[in-house]
């Protein structure tokens, strides 16, 4: 009995010397920093998913808005028909917008939702400013938006140039359109060739040769000097050549006045 008590006392003294860690504080911090935020996220996500499930009802109405001349609402409806089978909140608006943008003559598209079950599509058409080559069309920003236009639009002037020069040629056209109208002249075509030389053809076939150098200065000379000088003579003019350092040459329909004589009196020929 004495030996057993002695061993028990030794064991109890050893246990007293052992330091058992207190885990209460660590668990409390873990609960505050990790578990509670995770539970909040789960609750919020569950509430959102449940609300989305309740509110994500089918689209029952489609409203198409815009001023339509070349595009029809039926084309817009057909473009979005395959993309509205999903719920009201699950719609991929970017994909629907891309579908409508593929329609010819569509410039800008805005797609939005109207609670509780309506999809609204607003369409803006391109405004054609000129024809490009044989079948292309340029908008007012100088962008080629149709390569093979079905509508000829003969009332628009024809612009032409090397591949990739659409915006440069369009900018030149927009710059001369107003001054030509002020001079009571109508543009039939404006072109830039592979060398960068510019040529204007007026309504009636009168050709204006500008060359490829100092084009702005030559245009200024045309509007300030040539157009007023020939105001009553355009019916007899075949061409005006502005590729001279200090003047211009006129080619007449009548043989008695030759372009060579007028060119010699107007300065030296500049082939650029």
Residue 18 pLDDT grade (very low, low, confident, very high; cuts 50, 70, 90)? very low
Architecture of domain 61-125 in this structure: Roll (3.10)
Lowest mean pLDDT among 1-5, 19-23, 254-258: 1-5
Q: Which phi and psi angles does 72 have, rounded to 5°?
A: -115, 150
Q: For 207-251, write each residue's pLDDT tens digit.
A: 999 999 999 999 999 999 999 999 989 999 999 999 998 889 999
Residue 255 pLDDT grade (very low, low, confident, very high; cuts 50, 70, 90)? low
Rounded-to-integer distance, Cα 112 and Cα 63, Å:
10
Instruction: Please tell me the predicted confidence (pLDDT) of residue 170.
Output: 94
Domain residue extents for the chain: 61-125, 128-264
> Does 143 have pLDDT greater than 90?
yes
CATH code for the part of the protein at 128-264:
3.40.50.11690
E-strand ranges in 115-256 read 118-125, 128-132, 136-139, 144-146, 158-160, 187-192, 198-202, 207-211, 237-241, 249-252
According to DSSP, residue 129 is labeled E
* More confident of the two residues 257 and 2: 257
For residue 212 the two structure tokens come to: 């490829």
Q: What distances in angstroms separate CA 252 from CA 16, 94, 131, 211, 228, one per listed residue? A: 124, 59, 29, 20, 17
Please state, for a pLDDT cut of 70, what percent of the chain lies above it: 72
Mean pLDDT value across residues 157-162:
96
Q: For 101-118, write each residue's pLDDT tens digit.
A: 999 999 999 999 988 889
């Amino acid at each position: 009995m004495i030996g057993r008590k002695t061993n028990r006392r030794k064991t109890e003294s050893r246990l007293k010397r052992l330091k058992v860690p207190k885990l209460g504080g660590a668990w409390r911090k873990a609960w505050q920093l990790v578990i509670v935020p995770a539970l909040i996220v789960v609750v919020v996500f569950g509430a959102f998913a449940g609300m989305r499930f309740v509110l994500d009802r089918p689209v029952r109405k489609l409203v198409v808005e815009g001023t339509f001349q070349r595009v029809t609402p039926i084309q817009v409806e057909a473009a979005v028909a395959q993309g509205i089978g999903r719920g009201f909140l699950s719609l991929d608006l970017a994909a629907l917008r891309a579908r409508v943008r593929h329609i010819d003559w569509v410039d800008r598209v805005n797609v939005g939702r109207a609670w509780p079950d309506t999809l609204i599509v607003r369409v803006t058409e391109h405004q054609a400013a000129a024809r490009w080559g044989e079948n292309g069309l340029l908008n007012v920003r100088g962008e080629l938006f149709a390569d093979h236009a079905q509508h000829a639009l003969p009332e628009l002037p024809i612009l032409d140039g090397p591949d990739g020069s659409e915006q440069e040629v369009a900018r030149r056209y927009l710059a001369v359109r107003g001054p030509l109208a002020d001079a009571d002249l109508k543009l039939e075509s404006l072109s830039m060739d592979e060398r960068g030389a510019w040529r204007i053809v007026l309504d009636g076939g009168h050709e204006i040769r500008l060359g490829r150098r100092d084009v702005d200065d030559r245009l200024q000379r045309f509007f300030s000097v040539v157009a007023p000088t020939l105001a009553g003579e355009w019916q007899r003019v075949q061409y005006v050549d502005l590729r001279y350092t200090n003047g211009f040459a006129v080619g007449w329909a009548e043989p008695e006045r030759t372009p060579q004589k007028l060119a010699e009196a107007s300065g030296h020929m500049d082939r650029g």
